[in-house]
Structures are given as C-alpha cells and as structure tokens.
Amino acid sequence: MLADAEESRTDATLVVTLTNTPGALRRVTASLGTIPVSELTYAASLASRGTARITLPWKSADRARNKLNRLVEVLAVTDAAP
C-alpha cells in the first residue's frame, strides 16, 4: 500500500534554510543545474537567513537534497508538509 502511494507522487517540495550571503541563491541554483526544477522561490529575512522552496520531480528529491546539503550556506533541507 505504501509503495502504491509513493509511486503515485509526482512532485516533491524541499524547504532549504540557509545563511543569506552574497551568491547563496546562485550556488543553490547551480547545484541543481542538472535536476528539473518546476518552481523555486526564495525569501530573505533581516536575520541573515534565507528560505528556498524548491518543487521538483519526486524521483529527483533525494539527489537534490544530497547536493544541497553539501553547500556551506545550507543549514537544513526538509520536506514541505503535504
């Protein structure tokens, strides 16, 4: 039953919390260069933190998470609540 639910998922949304530094968003997008991203939003706060919401194919989520976790600015990568 769980396998059927996973197979029916088409998109995943990752929430990336990172330190808002010059070039951070550029490095996030560059690290995802080979992964088909359907939507990316970025919000920066006054506390030098940024949050990116990335929607991509469910089958690419683990690969994207691994690539993002290698970036120095990234503090956390989590799945968005459905």
* Consecutive 10-residue averages of pLDDT for the chain (82 residues): 54 95 92 95 90 96 96 94 72
pLDDT at residue 47 in the model: 82
Query: 2-79: what CATH class?
Result: alpha beta
Query: What is the Cα–Cα distance from 74 to 8, expressed in whole angstroms?
Result: 30
Alpha-carbon distance of 58 to 15, in angstroms, equals 14
Question: What's the chain's length in residues?
Answer: 82
Structure confidence at residue 16 (pLDDT): 97
Per-residue model confidence (pLDDT) at position 8: 54
**Rg, Å, the chain Cα set:** 13
Give the residue from 69, 68, 80 showing the smallest Cα distance to 33: 68
Identify the pLDDT of residue 65: 97
pLDDT at 64: 97
Distance CA 58, CA 7 (A): 9
